[in-house]
C-alpha cells in the first residue's frame, strides 16, 4: 500500500510498461472534465442571460404601467375639457337630442 502510494506520487504509473492504458484513462478523464467545465460555463451564461432578460421585462412592464396611467389621465373628460378651453372650445350647454328615423314600409 505504502509502495503504491509512493509510486503514484513519483509518477511511476506514467512511465511503466502499462503506461499506455493509464495515459488513455487520463486523457479520457481530462476530456470529460473539459466537457463538464464547458457545460457548466454554458449553463452559467444562460442563467445570467435569463436574469438580464427578467430585469428587462420588469423595466418594460414598469414603463407600460406608467404609459397606461398617462393615457388614462389624457382620456379623462375633465382633462380634455381643460385642454379644449385653452383652445377656445367649451362643452355644449344643451344636451344632444336623439334623432329617430321611421322606416317607410
Q: What is the residue range of 13's domain?
A: 2-86
Rounded Cα gap, residues 91 and 84, in angstroms: 9
In the DSSP assignment, the letter for residue 98 is -
Residue 87 grid cell: 383652445
Q: Read off the pLDDT of residues 27-37 as tens digits, 9 standing for 90 and up.
A: 999 999 999 99
In 3D, which of 29, 6, 7 has the Cα closest to residue 18? 7
pLDDT at res. 70: 94
User: Considering the entire predicted model, what is its pTM?
Assistant: 0.57
**Euclidean distance between the first and the last CA atom of the chain, given in angstroms as a whole number:** 115
Q: Kindly state whether residue 72 falls inside one of the protein's structural domains.
A: yes
Q: Does a structural domain hold residue 95?
A: no
- State how many domains the chain has: 1
pLDDT in tens, 43-72: 999 999 999 999 999 999 999 999 999 999
Q: Is residue 76 part of a domain?
A: yes
Amino acid at each position: 500500500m505504502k509502495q503504491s502510494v509512493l509510486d503514484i506520487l513519483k509518477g511511476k504509473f506514467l512511465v511503466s510498461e502499462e503506461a499506455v492504458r493509464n495515459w488513455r484513462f487520463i486523457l479520457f478523464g481530462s476530456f470529460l472534465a473539459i466537457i463538464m467545465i464547458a457545460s457548466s460555463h454554458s449553463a452559467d451564461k444562460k442563467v445570467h442571460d435569463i436574469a438580464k432578460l427578467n430585469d428587462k421585462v420588469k423595466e418594460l412592464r414598469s414603463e407600460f404601467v406608467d404609459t397606461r396611467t398617462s393615457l388614462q389621465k389624457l382620456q379623462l373628460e375633465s382633462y380634455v375639457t381643460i385642454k379644449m378651453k385653452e383652445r377656445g372650445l367649451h362643452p355644449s350647454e344643451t344636451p344632444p337630442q336623439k334623432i329617430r328615423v321611421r322606416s317607410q314600409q
